[in-house]
Amino acid sequence: MNFSTVDFIVFFGYCFIVLGLGLFIARKKSTGDSEGYFLAGKSLPWWAIGTSLIAANISAEQMIGMSGSGYVIGLAIASYEWMAALTLILVAKYMLPVFLEKGIYTMPQFLENRFDERVRASLAVFWILVYIFVNLTSVLYLGALSLETIMGFDLRYGIIGLAVFSAIYTIYGGLNAIAFTDVIQVTFLVLGGLMTTYFALNAFGGGEGAIAGFIELYDQVPEKFEMILDPSNPHYQELPGLGVIFGGLWVANISYWGCNQYIIQRALAAKSLTEAQRGLMFAGYLKLLMPLIVVIPGIAAFGFGVDLLRPDEAYPWTLNEFVITGFRGLAFAALIAAIASSLSSMTNSTSTIFTLDIYKIHFNKEASEKNLVLTGRVMSFIALFLAVLVAPLLENFGQAFQFIQEFTGFVSPGVVAIFLLGLYWKPASANGALWAAILTIPLSFLFKWLVPDLPFLDRMGIVFLILCGVIILISLYENTGKDPKAIEFRKELFHTGTVFNVGSIGASAILAILYLLFW
């Protein structure tokens, strides 16, 4: 890409703004204790929560990986985004009130409160491994791939550069620095992403505007706008028809949005339950918008008939070909914003789980607040360092987004079974939960080996049901009634305000209309 002087000014201006704001907040906001460092002093307002959720979620994984899947599969991949909007509303109403009432810092901590320390430790180890060797590595790889494709940077140097950029304010400032810089990141992400989509669609429509371009694109490649894939579709394995709406995607979504530390940590840091719920609802509306930014550019690249070596080159190609001089810096800044914010979130949550669920519990129970913050910073560095070493190995994969979904899907069935039954079924026992944690990866691999043609979303759904059965059988054998650590619900716990209720109905209505339009 030929960057003009204006492009460089915009891009590097963005970098200085983010770094400057992150370091300023880190100095202004106290991070001397674990609550300040890991949970931003429990002071986040709804708008910071909502934007930070999206910044943590939308990364190279989506902007590069999902555009690549859009190039190959089409709009059907947007189910991950649109169904997430409904999931966020359900999590806000039916899971978040319990987490905040318990006053937890981490999701493994909740598992100890509900079950025992063994369940806490096993899931903590699972999450740390997934965050480092799947999430962080994939974001670094895809981000560096975009730098290589757009600016010609060597892949390995790009990986190192992104890690260093994220680390500068993340390791020092903790969640406070991350959450408030995420407001800037999401602004760049949305504006730059929409601009890239606009230029691509305008070009496809022969300069008649984005709407004309979208209509033309729909007419030229209607097969790329099918939300529910037929079994005869070559990509049915990735998105198995109605199973996407009624099957395993729910397991993936509840695991990601309801049980995932680097997502739910923002809500745990809220000023109040009301602020947390409104933040999740706001994030749901942003998720409804995201396919326009992360999927349509990939479909446009396919519509232009470009022959790419790798599907994940679709977004960089679109940006390179159609975004005009003077705007490329903003569009590229949007991409780097998505990458840096997700790296920061994953790094901070990895260090949070290690520090509070492993180090403090098993290595130094009397650790001071200063020692916990120092340990969190050291672990952040180690996590990024390991991810930098592993990231280049992902070069051999095709659609990185699908790689991420499948391999996180080995853990998700067990996580969701443990959390849902732990929350809502009082007899659920610690031994039942522990066996679900132990069996989730072996069972998933067994099904992948025995039934290789089974779509991985369907596999997740089946393994989830089996693990629910395991928990139920073991719990019934052990308990004649409710478990001693069962959660007692107060009548008013799930009450929500008018703003949340009206907003939730609106988001659900938009979701229904979208599926009816592109069925």
pLDDT digits (tens, 9 = 90+) for 433-478: 999 999 998 999 899 889 888 888 888 999 999 999 999 999 999 8
The pLDDT value given to residue 32: 58
The pLDDT value given to residue 405: 63
The pLDDT value given to residue 34: 67
Closest-CA residue to 31 (of 183, 184, 171)? 171
DSSP state of 222: G
Percent of the chain with pLDDT over 70: 92
- Least confident window among 118-127, 166-175, 397-406: 397-406
- Residue 95 sits in a domain whose CATH number is 1.20.1730.10
Q: Greater confidence, 207 or 330? A: 207
Residue 426: CB atoms within 10 A of its CB come to 18
Encode pLDDT of 316-342 as tens digits: 888 878 877 767 777 777 777 777 778
- Is it the case that residue 30 has pLDDT exceeding 70? no
CA 282 – CA 285 distance, rounded (Å) = 5
Encode pLDDT of 263-283 as tens digits: 888 888 888 999 999 999 999
Q: Greater confidence, 130 or 174? A: 130
- Is 313 part of a structural domain of the chain? yes
- Is 447 part of a structural domain of the chain? no
The pLDDT value given to residue 235: 81
- Is it the case that residue 137 has pLDDT exceeding 70? yes
User: How does residue 104 score in pLDDT terms, banded at 50, 70 and 90?
Assistant: confident
Q: Taking the alpha carbons of 325, 327, 330, 332 in that order, is the dihedral positive or negative?
A: negative
Query: In the structure encoding, which two tokens stand for residue 135, read together?
Result: 């999430």
CA-CA-CA-CA dihedral for 40, 41, 42, 43, to nearest 10: -80
- Least confident window among 44-48, 111-115, 140-144: 140-144
User: How does residue 2 score in pLDDT terms, banded at 50, 70 and 90?
Assistant: low
User: How does residue 251 score in pLDDT terms, banded at 50, 70 and 90?
Assistant: very high
Encode pLDDT of 338-365 as tens digits: 777 788 888 888 998 999 899 988 888 8
Q: Taking the alpha carbons of 381, 136, 37, 364 in that order, is the dihedral positive or negative?
A: negative
Closest-CA residue to 216 (of 229, 227, 232, 205)? 205
End-to-end CA distance of the chain: 37
User: How does residue 230 score in pLDDT terms, banded at 50, 70 and 90?
Assistant: confident
- Least confident window among 427-431, 452-456, 470-474, 501-505: 452-456
Highest mean pLDDT of the ranges 25-29, 133-137, 258-262, 495-499: 495-499
Give every CB contact of residue 519 below 8 A, 6+ residues apart in sequence: 227, 228
The pLDDT value given to residue 143: 81
- Is it the case that residue 388 has pLDDT exceeding 80? yes
**Mean pLDDT value of segment 2-11:** 76
- Give the domain range for residue 70: 5-29+57-102+116-234+271-399
- Is 230 part of a structural domain of the chain? yes
The pLDDT value given to residue 229: 84
- Is it the case that residue 401 has pLDDT exceeding 60? no
- Is 350 part of a structural domain of the chain? yes
- Is 514 part of a structural domain of the chain? no
Helix axes 412-424, 430-450, angle to 10 degrees: 150
- Least confident window among 57-61, 90-94, 481-485, 496-500: 57-61
- Is it the case that residue 169 has pLDDT exceeding 80? no
CA 500 – CA 497 distance, rounded (Å) = 6
Helix axes 328-353, 46-57, angle to 10 degrees: 100
- Is 477 part of a structural domain of the chain? no
Query: In the structure encoding, which two tokens stand for residue 465, read together?
Result: 């049901």
Spell out a b/e string for 133-161, using b for 16 or more CB atoms within 10 Å of the CB, else e: bbbbbbbbbbbbbbbbbbeebebeebbbb
Query: In the structure encoding, which two tokens stand for residue 444, read together?
Result: 């998933």
pLDDT, averaged across the chain = 85
Helices (H), 205-260: 210-220, 243-246, 248-258
The pLDDT value given to residue 468: 96
| Contact in structure between 116 and 285 (CB atoms under 8 Å) | no
- Least confident window among 41-45, 266-270, 502-506: 41-45
- Is 458 part of a structural domain of the chain? no
Residue 274: CB atoms within 10 A of its CB come to 14
Give every CB contact of residue 256 below 8 A, 6+ residues apart in sequence: 84, 87, 263, 408, 412
Percent of the chain with pLDDT over 90: 33
Query: Considering its fold, how many domains does the chain have in total?
Result: 1
The pLDDT value given to residue 33: 64
- Least confident window among 29-33, 177-181, 223-227, 276-280: 29-33
The pLDDT value given to residue 202: 92
The pLDDT value given to residue 97: 93
The pLDDT value given to residue 1: 55
The pLDDT value given to residue 391: 86
User: How does residue 60 score in pLDDT terms, banded at 50, 70 and 90?
Assistant: low
- Is 482 part of a structural domain of the chain? no
**Mean pLDDT value of segment 47-60:** 82
